[in-house]
Amino acid sequence: MSCLLKAIPTAGYAKGLLWSLALAILLSLIFPNATLAASRLGLDNGYLSSCPASNNCVVSQNADSKHAIDPIAYHINRNAAKEILLKVLTVVPRTEVIEQTDNYIHALSKSRIFKFTDDVEFYFPPNESVIHVRSASRVGEFDLGVNRRRVEQIRLALRDLNI
């Protein structure tokens, strides 16, 4: 009998469950088109994915005016530029590189309070001295300019390091 009583949720447990449910409903109302999965990521025939219609993404390839951002130019060896970028990413708050190849880097950046995840991608095309970039939120419609500011801060850090 005592085992059965331990399995019955307490009032505190039920209250916590109700708060979690209320928060989930509230978030679904605030972010009606939210998805916790990553959008299309990676390269497709030498291009990063385009941005969705939402206002929480920037990309330097084939973008409309709302989502466009300049690629990051460099004037040193491509491999050295990539290594410097990787070092810069280690000091970007709440950011972790999760994938890298010879011409591509994928990192995750999490927001400070709600821990929302943004995908940040970098592409080093052959025969060009630029790093194409895409930064996109996984949830919501608006990011208050966070993705654009992140890319511009990375650009400034790389400029300060004379790449």
pLDDT reported for residue 11 = 55
pLDDT reported for residue 40 = 84
Q: Please check whether residues 26 and 42 belong to one and the same domain.
A: no
Q: Please check whether residues 83 and 101 belong to one and the same domain.
A: yes
- Considering its fold, how many domains does the chain have in total? 2
Identify the segments of the chain with pLDDT beneath 70: 1-39
Q: Please check whether residues 14 and 89 belong to one and the same domain.
A: no
Q: Please check whether residues 73 and 21 belong to one and the same domain.
A: no
Q: Please check whether residues 1 and 78 belong to one and the same domain.
A: no
Task: Please give the Cα distance from 110 to 115 (Å, whole number).
Answer: 5
pLDDT reported for residue 22 = 44
Domain with 78, as residue range(s), is 38-160
pLDDT reported for residue 154 = 98
Q: Please check whether residues 3 and 72 belong to one and the same domain.
A: no
pLDDT reported for residue 87 = 98
What's 156's domain CATH number? Answer: 3.30.310.80
